[in-house]
Amino acid sequence: MVFSDVTNNLGIVQQTRSMMRVDSNQWPTYKIVNSCNNWLDMITGYAIGADNKFQWDDTNHTKLPIGTTNLVANQAEYSFLTDEQGNSILNLSRIDILDPNGIYRELETIDHQNIEGALDEFEKTAGLPQYYDKIADNIIKLYPKPATSVTAGLKFYFQRSASYFAATDTTKQPGVAPLLHRGFVIASAYDGALTLGLNNINTLLAEMQREEAKMRQYFTIRNKDETGRVVVAAHSNK
């Protein structure tokens, strides 16, 4: 579903106003944009948290959620706030490091709460980092800190904010599965009804709850191509 279609009146903008029974003066495009972007944020947050194995990303993004940054000698902390297109990085899913042979190798995650003794004494001698502690969603600390600076020494994989709508958009569609597109109409119409005090607000609330349930169901069953496995952990008595 495109954002705006003035020819056939089938866009999100046109369907929203039709459902509300209002015109562009009562519910202007910028308010529909705000509602759609808020709904995008809700879908993004739910999709990221729904399954650690499914790395969801808005399909409107034109670059993969992978980036590199330079290693700086004796610098342990690194932050990853935005990708190269300015999208906010919400979560880091993996960090690789460029070794002396020019090959990227995965760093092992570690939690500082599981480190015995003083943190300042853990891997205190600078060298080739082996571990990273995720201090926040997009901030890490390397152990040990790098001994030398390396161009593109870190490769990071991440999840990011959605590709948002602008009031000037026309043919752009939501970067989610087509069966979830109607939710943008309902969410915007509900926001409008709530703001303007329309009589159909309860009907729109019920519709929005159905769309949210449909969205949750979609993310529950989307990995049908994967077969679940039972992994038995082996424990030694020695």
Token code pair at residue 85:
């297109």
Handedness of CA 141, 112, 129, 122 (dihedral sign): positive
pLDDT at 76 over 80: yes
Q: Which residue has the higher pLDDT, 237 or 75?
A: 75
Helices and strands counted in the chain (H then E): 4, 8
Q: Are 77 and 124 in contact (CB under 8 A)?
A: no
Residue type, 85: Q
pLDDT(229) > 80? no
**Which alpha helices (DSSP H) does 131-200 contain, by range?**
182-196
Q: Quick one: tokens of 170?
A: 């026309």
Q: Residue 180: which of 9, 2, 43 has the closest Cα?
A: 43
What is the mean pLDDT of the segment spanning 35-47? 96
Does 216 have pLDDT greater than 70?
A: yes
pLDDT at 232 over 70: no
Instruction: Examine the pLDDT at 221 and tell me if it is beyond 90.
Output: no
Count other C-beta atoms under 10 Å from residue 50's C-beta: 17
Lowest mean pLDDT among 14-28, 104-118, 179-193: 104-118
Cβ(77)–Cβ(144) under 8 Å? no
Average pLDDT over residues 135-139: 89
Name the least confident of 50-54, 68-72, 77-81, 149-153: 50-54
Task: Return the beta strands (E) in 54-183 as ranges.
Answer: 66-71, 77-79, 89-98, 104-106, 108-109, 131-136, 139-143, 150-160
Beta-carbon contacts of residue 39 (< 8 Å; ≥ 6 apart)? 183, 184, 187, 188
Strand partners, 139: 79, 136
User: How confident is the prediction for the chain on average, in pLDDT?
Assistant: 91
Work out the percent of the chain whose per-residue pLDDT is above 70: 92
Residue 222: pLDDT band with limits 50, 70, 90:
low
What pLDDT was estimated at residue 136? 86
The pTM assigned to this predicted structure is 0.85
Residue of higher predicted confidence among 230 and 45:
45
Give yes or no for residue 228 having a pLDDT over 80: no
Q: Report whether pLDDT(8) > 70.
A: yes
Structure-token pair, residue 88: 């906010």
Mean of the pLDDT values across residues 116-127? 90
N-terminal to C-terminal alpha carbon distance within the chain: 62
- % residues pLDDT > 90 (the chain): 82
